[in-house]
Amino acid sequence: MTTSSWTVTNLIKNTPVGEVFSSLEKVFTLKGEYVNDDKLSDIIRVKIQDKHYYVKRYTLGGKGIRKYIGRSRIRAEWENLLTFHDLGVPAAEVVAYGEERCSGLFKRGAAITEEFDNSLDMRQLEQHHDYLLKNHNWMNQVIDQVASAARTLHQNNFIHTDFKWRNILVTIEEKPRIALIDCPAGTKVASIFLERGIIKDLACLDKIGKKKLSKSQRMRFYSRYIGRKINNGDKRRIKKILSFFEGRE
pLDDT profile of the chain (249 residues), mean per 10: 91 94 96 90 94 94 72 94 98 97 90 96 90 94 98 98 97 97 95 97 96 95 95 92 83
β-pair partners for 8? 96
What is d(CA 198, CA 96) in angstroms, rounded to the nearest whole number? 30
Best CA proximity match to 226, nearest among 150, 165, 140, 160: 150
Q: Which residue in 228, 43, 53, 216 sits closest to 143, CA to CA?
A: 216
Question: For position 183, what pLDDT does the model report?
Answer: 95
Alpha carbon 131 to its chain centroid, in Å, reads: 24
Look up residue 92 and give its DSSP letter: P
Neighbouring CB atoms inside 10 A of 207's CB total 14
Res 181: pLDDT = 96
Helix axis angle, 191-212 to 232-243, nearest 10°? 70
Within a 10 A sphere around the Cβ of 31, how many other Cβ atoms? 8
Of the candidates 180, 194, 201, the residue with the CA atom closest to the CA atom of residue 85: 180
pTM score, two decimals? 0.94
